[in-house]
Amino acid sequence: AQSVAQPEDQVNVAEGNPLTVKCTYSVSGNPYLFWYVQYPNRGLQFLLKYITGDNLVKGSYGFEAEFNKSQTSFHLKKPSALVSDSALYFCAVKLLGNTPLVFGKGTRLSVIA
Amino acid sequence: GAVVSQHPSRVICKSGTSVKIECRSLDFQATTMFWYRQFPKQSLMLMATSNEGSKATYEQGVEKDKFLINHASLTLSTLTVTSAHPEDSSFYICSARGGGQAYNEQFFGPGTRLTVL
């Protein structure tokens, strides 16, 4: 069975500073990895995904993530945080085939002006 | 990208009544739909997976007689919460997936906030 761990419940960062939201995964096979963002009372918005190819994936709103197979990690990063980036971020993993996404517990990001 | 809609966005009902939530894929055919439940400040919990024309597969601990899922067409799935109780109050999110190149991507609806009084 696959699982996702987001070790931080909350990440605080000053506006303009780089941010990192951590994610590690456990799967028995090649993982497909995703990041989603959720604003209050809203559904999930897709940020980026890793399926295959380059380990560094660039996504929406200036976010990127690096797939690290040896560390089984897929941390989300952004060089310069904005106050509007404050939201709940979810890492998710799935396997090939008709399998659902499995989500981490989420990390709340607060960007302080 | 692909668009998934949910209706209603918010619903308030009395205890004991049933509530139906619709999930539609607007610009693609959703061969598989998923229903998630999210409690405040918690992650999404998968409730069930449904393939068009087949019975839904429920996750362990989810009552199939309470949460009725119908996926009658490639663009519509419904979740009916039967005899709702206050503990069923939650944020319900549907997700849809198509075939072909989109096979590994899930697209999410905006969610439905259910409040049972």
pLDDT in tens, chain B (117 residues): 678 999 999 999 999 999 999 999 998 888 889 999 998 878 889 999 998 888 899 999 999 999 999 988 889 999 999 999 999 999 999 999 876 654 567 889 999 999 999
Our CA-based measurement puts residue A31 at a distance from the nearest CA of chain B, in whole angstroms, of 11
Higher pLDDT, A80 or A41: A80
Task: State how beta strands B112-116 and B90-97 pair.
Answer: antiparallel
Residue in A32, A42, A44 nearest the CB of B104: A32
pLDDT of the residue at B10:
96
The answer to whether A21 and A11 have CB atoms below 8 angstroms apart is yes
Q: Do A100 and B43 touch (CB under 8 A)?
A: no
The C-alpha atoms of residue B55 and residue B53 are separated, in whole angstroms, by: 7
- Interface check for B106 against chain A (CB to CB < 8 A): the answer is yes
pLDDT of the residue at A96:
72
The answer to whether A93 and A25 have CB atoms below 8 angstroms apart is yes
Q: Helix, strand, or coil here: B31?
A: coil
Our CA-based measurement puts residue A105 at a distance from the nearest CA of chain B, in whole angstroms, of 4
